[in-house]
């Protein structure tokens, strides 16, 4: 495996772990369900893994766009000899775009989903902005395990698109498969670890600030990887 492949895999691991650990919505609902519904450890892990898989599968829908674009660009042999290769430049440019978009998303304080647990154990999801004090009850949706699964399917991780673009531009099927497998494994593993920590009563951080800037952090990771490929000969 080349250093470039290792760089991509390390970026995929970083993004998947940070994205999952920084977002309480990736694990708090499962902890709540396990406690209020008296779920066993096996059932808790099962639902966590299922929702994590749905989350990754929806990310792959976006990622396949990167695969198609990269594969098409690989046909233009006249531009593959530029410094860093067209794939490296594309990774750098897409990373910068995602970094800028992530900063805008954080600064603009766009609505995002939030979970609330009522005294009777019921859990509700709703859209809100940071520092927003109150959301009307009629705008809240009661969460069941299957609704939670749908929520995860509808919330893809966009950084997978530029990451898959690179091995596709190299027409590397093994690289694409390895990247997808790595991203999937570490996303689900991190979810399970965070859920089990809460299940056994360990106190969890509330990384609100990290969650808010997660898109920008992911963009920075992709940009760093692209920069290394273009200017440092990774």
Cβ-in-10-Å burial (0-12, 13-18, 19+) of 92 comes to buried
Is 139 within the bounds of a domain? no
Report the number of distinct structural domains present in the chain.
1
Mean pLDDT of the chain: 77
Q: Look at residue 80 in the predicted model and tell me its pLDDT.
A: 47
Considering only residues 160 and 197, tell me which one the structure prediction assigns the higher pLDDT.
Answer: 197
Q: How far apart are CA 62 and CA 187, in angstroms?
A: 16
What's the confidence (pLDDT) of residue 44?
Answer: 94
Residue-level pLDDT at 40: 92
Is 70 domain-assigned?
Answer: yes
Residue among 2, 164, 156 at smallest CA distance from 71: 164
pTM (two decimals): 0.76
Nearest Cα to Cα of residue 225 among 213, 234, 215: 234
Q: Which of residues 14 and 168 earns the better pLDDT score?
A: 14
Q: What is the pLDDT of residue 73?
A: 65
Range of the domain at 10: 3-108+149-231
Structural domain contains residue 143? no
- Confirm whether 159 is domain-assigned: yes
Q: Distance between the two ends of the chain, CA-based, in angstroms?
A: 13
- Residue 192: per-residue pLDDT: 95
- The label of the residue with tokens 């209020």 reads 36
Give pLDDT tens digits for 15-67: 888 888 877 788 888 988 898 888 999 999 999 999 999 988 888 887 787 77
Q: Is 125 within the bounds of a domain?
A: no
pLDDT at 193 over 90: yes
- Does some domain include residue 114? no
Q: Residue 21: inside a domain, yes or no?
A: yes
Task: Identify whether 200 is part of a domain.
Answer: yes
């Amino acid at each position: 495996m080349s250093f470039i492949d290792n760089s991509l895999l390390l970026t995929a691991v970083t993004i998947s772990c940070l994205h999952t650990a920084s977002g309480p919505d990736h694990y708090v609902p499962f902890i709540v369900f396990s406690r209020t519904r008296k779920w066993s450890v096996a059932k808790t892990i099962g639902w966590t893994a299922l929702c994590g898989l749905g989350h990754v599968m929806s990310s792959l829908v976006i990622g396949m766009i990167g695969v198609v674009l990269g594969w098409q660009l690989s046909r233009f042999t006249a531009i593959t000899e530029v410094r860093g290769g067209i794939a490296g430049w594309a990774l750098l440019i897409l990373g910068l775009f995602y970094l800028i978009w992530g900063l805008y998303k954080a600064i603009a304080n766009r609505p995002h989903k939030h979970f609330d647990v009522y005294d009777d154990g019921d859990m509700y999801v709703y859209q809100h902005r940071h520092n927003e004090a109150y959301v009307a009850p009629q705008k809240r949706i009661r969460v069941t395990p299957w609704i939670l699964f749908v929520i995860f399917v509808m919330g893809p991780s966009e950084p997978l698109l530029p990451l898959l673009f690179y091995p596709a531009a190299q027409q590397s099927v093994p690289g694409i498969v390895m990247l997808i497998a790595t991203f999937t494994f570490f996303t689900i593993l991190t979810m399970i670890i965070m859920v089990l920590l809460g299940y056994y009563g360990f106190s969890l951080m509330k990384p609100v600030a990290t969650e808010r800037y997660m898109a920008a952090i992911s963009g920075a990771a992709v940009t760093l990887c692209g920069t290394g490929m273009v200017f440092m000969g990774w």
